[in-house]
Chains A and B, each alone.
Chain A
């Protein structure tokens, strides 16, 4: 037996002995049987405006766009306004061949990125597969897109989200992920920019991740 097998056996044996040593145990029965979260309030609130309000309350920006074209035009002007010189894109199909569309002076960095390139990128672009209205959260499904790094490493993260994909609660987002054919290898929840309060409790945004989060809400 290898050391690891030995250790595994010993630990599981200890756990079993500890639990079987003292009297009768309650039968195994998960306490929540029918609903994920029985206390879920019934609500008909406007998902999109709730999402926007919550995201803004944690320092995110929301821009509503009628269609992709309008979103990109808006995106280019944001990059120009802020003097952003390059944009690292995820491998989402909508971001293919952006180089032709991008204005002069904005370099498009296509996926996959060299690590050094990514670390120097001034903004990152990705889609989000879901939004959660209750908390203003973006859900990034690593099975659908490679966007864990473009959404994290550059100081500005710009995300495209379809309003149709906004769900009310965290639980719904989790159960959608679970319904997929194979459970996503990474699932990332993002609620606002990166933040810290480790120095005298002073809030500072953009410590390791983006200091700015901009979400384009598409139909």
Chain B
């Protein structure tokens, strides 16, 4: 299957290893991966802050890039950005770009759920020794309904012990500009989420959104914690 990678601006610039791993994993799953370097951002930061006009401008650029691709699926290592792409038809309602938004949204998938739901693949031959805990990112869980897929994928990774935190589905506090507008609340939310981390003796927190992972990692670093943070793709691409 031909797949176009929507790598997202954050992965591109801050966490490229997640993008590299996504390509590796998709190829292992038998996909032919293309990447259009014209892509930038989906427009979410502006949309979530109330700047609809600015969001439309950037999203229009995204649609122009993606409509050019003949790939059967557009796959992205971010639940949040995929959820935004699914919002685009509404954002472009009543405009000439509406058709393009619908067409692109229909073939855009989050990486983990694409592997499990579309390709029916759970075992990617990965190996990773450690106690991992899954972070359900809000948009993946509550907008896209992704819950089982990443857990199934992680359970098939040799050497992984999957630990459920009692706060597995509570928000990390990122929330885009919320993380700086209300920085104190944002971090209080995160600290609540991370409380259970120490008791459970977890080696690493794994998620499918670099925005959440960046928030979590930056706080863990500041606290001097040894707990690591990984993107799901990085674990799935790992060979031990």
Q: Direct contact between A and B in the complex (CB less than 8 angstroms)?
A: no
